[in-house]
Amino acid sequence: MAFFFEVLIGGLLSGVMYSLVALGFVLIYKASGVFNFAQGAMVFFAALTFIGLQQDFGINFWVAFVLALGVMILLGLATEKFVLRPLVNQPQITLFMATIGLTFFIEGLAQLLGGANVRGLDIGIQDEPIEAITKATGMNISRFDLVAAGIAALLVVSLALFFNRTRIGRALRAVADDHQAALAVGIPLHQIWGIVWAVAGFVALVAGMLWGARNGVQFALTFVALKALPVLILGGFESVPGAILGGLIIGASEKLAEVYLGPYVGGGIEGWFPYVLALLFLLVRPEGLFGEKHIDRV
Amino acid sequence: MLYREAGQFKSTYTADQQIFPIRQDRVAVFALLAVAYVVVPLIANEYWLSAILVPFLIFALAAIGLNLLTGYAGQLSLGTAAFMAVGAFAAYNFMLRVPGMPVLVAFVLAGVCAALVGILFGLPSLRIKGFYLAVATLAAQFFIVWALTKFGWFSNYSSSGVINAQKIEILGYTFDQPLPKYLLTLTIVAVLALAAKNMVRSAIGRAWMAVRDMDVAAEVIGFPMLRTKLTAFAVSSFYCGIAGALYAFCYLGTVEPEGFNLDLSFRILFMIILGGVGSILGSFLGAAFIVLFPIFLNTVAGPIEHALGVSLPPGIMSNLELMIFGALIILFLIVEPHGLARMWQIAKEKLRLWPFPH
């Protein structure tokens, strides 16, 4: 039984990491209705920027963090200005395609600047089991996973506060609700979109640092976006809590399935199991856990 | 002046309903076919045939398949490459396991297999829409590639699922040179493209478009949702399956499941976006663009490097290519969101008057 719980908790904690990436998707989708496929590339780009600043230029950790954040904000603003603004009022699929183009662009740029080698990123947290927990319960729980979960929780709480308690946050929600109505009451739409992309850049930076510290900063980091997609449809595109809960469900069930179901079919099912799970779930609830119910009118 | 339909009167229903009602279009199609069948084999060398024209035709076929589903029936799919994989592996297995299987029949059966798999993965489309569906089709993409790699039976227990396509033999003639392979591909693609062109203006195509424009309204006026959406998935997957079989048999010869990855799906999606969503001609234009663009980039890169007196390492070159490609897609979407097909339409409008001002 201890083994079951170990797998479950490990899955839940890795699910938090998926949530972090999914969060970036949700933010942008909520505010601008754009399904931003480039989020994975942004995670990769952010991690590579940070590591380049820290290791190649020997800049202090926090200064490098702030500088990388600045770069991500610039990237977000540039995206808003050069990609989204000319595409206002286009159908959603066009915007989606534009973000795929953006993905290629950012991936090329990131590798051009940072090289294609795998680079280790040390953010000062060991990825080893905590002895106290091992002694008490016999389960191996990584300190890194716990810290990552803590950071994710902090991020979600601060984002929730930002959305609910600040003036900008209210404006963001107004824009998410109805573009035209928001414009009519004098909310600067482009400015808001710029802010959303900047915040998504910030989330990408945090996700990139955590994922980079875990797996090394490499091109494969862009694939975490593919892990976040089932999380997204399970939780609902418009919901921050959905992203968190979806991440937990996907993380836990993926690990459990790999351990208990994997041996029967030859293993390696982690790649598609989350998708099939999310798909089956959607058959029951087509808008995900917390997504907005759409009412079709003829 | 050149493209003027004035004076072309139709006096019978048959004439009115023909597939290309305007004379200039008919002439253009026959001229194109003549060029493809007669002129190209005379002037094209082996490299052009096997590295550019054959993949162009195959990708165009896959793009038509995706365009039927996404452009006409409005169901966004990111699993095109997986359906191609089903086609390729099904054709291989039919050839391998059924003695004396004619290759064309194997292709058709491969298409049918892909269609069945397409129907299976199309079932969720009855409940879910939009991006939810797009992500759900990724399930097909990952699951099919995984299954083909994992279960050795599909690849006759070769290592890592690599298959070698069998020889193509029709009526005792072996298609092993680039030219016969090109002609075979061309014939299949031409027939299927004409069929698609016909399909989208018949009852079934109109049903797809009604569902695309608004599925609730379509259902209210009596289009059966189940049948319409599933036929879209089936026909689309059939086209992709045939394209996959051709990809294995006429283009690469040796394929592995991993070759049909998400990148390939995206490439085909790009073809229809750049070419024009909801246009058969657009599928061809988009495929041509995506196939030719990297070659074009490599050709111009050399002289530019030479002129600047620098030589870029290949790693940087490929990253630059990626960036240019991404930027170009965004630029394209901004300048002409309806794709190359729309440009052709505008050109035709111009040709109607040209060279006169009114």
Digit-coded pLDDT (tens) for B54-73: 999 999 999 999 999 999 99
- On average, the pLDDT of chain B sits at 88
Residue A125: what pLDDT? 67
pLDDT at residue A131 is higher than 70? no
Give the distance from residue B215's alpha carbon to the nearest chain A alpha carbon, in angstroms: 9
Residue A215: what pLDDT? 77
pLDDT at residue B188 is higher than 80? yes
- On average, the pLDDT of chain A sits at 82
pLDDT at residue A37 is higher than 80? yes
Contact A109 B323 (CB under 8 A): yes
Average pLDDT, stretch A42-55? Answer: 87
B81 pLDDT band (50/70/90 cuts)?
very high
- Percent of chain B past pLDDT 90, that is, above it, reads 39
Residue A124: what pLDDT? 67
Q: Which domain holds residue B105?
A: 44-353
Task: Find chain B residues with C-beta within 8 A of A86's C-beta.
Answer: 334
Q: Read off the pLDDT of residues B282-309 as tens digits, 9 standing for 90 and up.
A: 999 999 999 998 888 888 877 877 777 7
Query: Considering only alpha carbons, which residue of chain A is nearest residue B262?
Result: A226
A137 pLDDT band (50/70/90 cuts)?
low
Alpha-carbon radius of gyration of chain A: 19
Query: Considering only alpha carbons, which residue of chain A is nearest residue B318?
Result: A108
Query: Considering only alpha carbons, which residue of chain B is nearest residue A105?
Result: B323
A residues 181-220 near B, CB within 8 Å? Answer: none
CA dihedral B8, B10, B14, B15 (to 10 degrees): -10
Contact A90 B329 (CB under 8 A): no
Best of B76, B146, B212, B220 to substitute, by most chain A Cβ atoms within 10 angstroms, is: B146
Query: Considering only alpha carbons, which residue of chain B is nearest residue A90?
Result: B337
Domain A2-284 bears CATH identifier 3.30.310: no
Task: Find chain A residues with C-beta within 8 A of B320's C-beta.
Answer: 108, 112
B211 pLDDT band (50/70/90 cuts)?
very high
Is B18 within a domain?
Answer: no
Query: Considering only alpha carbons, which residue of chain B is nearest residue A295?
Result: B216
Average pLDDT, stretch A259-270? Answer: 76
- 3-state SS string over chain A? CHHHHHHHHHHHHHHHHHHHHHHHHHHHHHHHCCCCCCHHHHHHHHHHHHHHHHHHCCCCHHHHHHHHHHHHHHHHHHHHHHHHHHHCCCCHHHHHHHHHHHHHHHHHHHHHHHCCCCECCCCCCCCCECHHHHHHHCCCCEHHHHHHHHHHHHHHHHHHHHHHHCHHHHHHHHHHHCHHHHHHCCCCHHHHHHHHHHHHHHHHHHHHHHHHHHHCECHHHHHHHHHHHHHHHHHCCCCHHHHHHHHHHHHHHHHHHHHHHHHHHCCCHHHCHHHHHHHHHHHHCCCCCCCCCCCCCC
Contact A102 B330 (CB under 8 A): yes
Contact B322 A104 (CB under 8 A): yes
The beta-carbon neighbor of B326 closest among A102, A266, A286 is A102
pLDDT at residue B244 is higher than 90? yes
Is B318 within a domain?
Answer: yes
Higher pLDDT, A120 or B348: B348
* Least trusted range by pLDDT, from A95-104, A249-258, B129-138, B239-248: B129-138
Task: Find chain A residues with C-beta within 8 A of B262's C-beta.
Answer: 226
Is B7 within a domain?
Answer: no
pLDDT at residue A295 is higher than 80? no
Is B21 within a domain?
Answer: no
Pairing of strands B254-255, B163-164: antiparallel
**Total number of domains in chain B:** 1
The beta-carbon neighbor of B128 closest among A83, A282, A296 is A282
Give the distance from residue B44's alpha carbon to the nearest chain A alpha carbon, in angstroms: 33
Residue B187: what pLDDT? 94
* Least trusted range by pLDDT, from A137-151, B19-33, B55-69, B83-97: A137-151
Residue B242: what pLDDT? 96
Task: Find chain B residues with C-beta within 8 A of A83's C-beta.
Answer: 330
Average pLDDT, stretch A66-80? Answer: 90
With an 8 Å Cβ cutoff, is A156 touching chain B? no
Is B11 within a domain?
Answer: no
Average pLDDT, stretch B230-251? Answer: 95
Is B329 within a domain?
Answer: yes
pLDDT at residue A297 is higher than 80? no
Residue B233: what pLDDT? 95
Q: Read off the pLDDT of residues B14-47 as tens digits, 9 standing for 90 and up.
A: 888 888 888 888 888 999 999 999 998 888 888 8
Contact A90 B333 (CB under 8 A): yes
Task: Find chain A residues with C-beta within 8 A of B131's C-beta.
Answer: 35, 92, 96, 233, 237
Average pLDDT, stretch A64-92? Answer: 87
Name the residue with tokens 């919901």: A239
Sign of torsion, CA B46 B50 B51 B57? Answer: positive
A136 pLDDT band (50/70/90 cuts)?
low
A278 pLDDT band (50/70/90 cuts)?
confident
Residue A130: what pLDDT? 67
Is B30 within a domain?
Answer: no
**CATH number of the CATH domain containing B188:** 1.10.3470
B109 pLDDT band (50/70/90 cuts)?
very high
ipTM entry: 0.83
Residues contacting A85, CB < 8 A, separation 6+? A190
Average pLDDT, stretch B340-347? Answer: 89
Task: Find chain A residues with C-beta within 8 A of B258's C-beta.
Answer: none
Is B206 within a domain?
Answer: yes
Residue A123: what pLDDT? 67
Residue B169: what pLDDT? 80
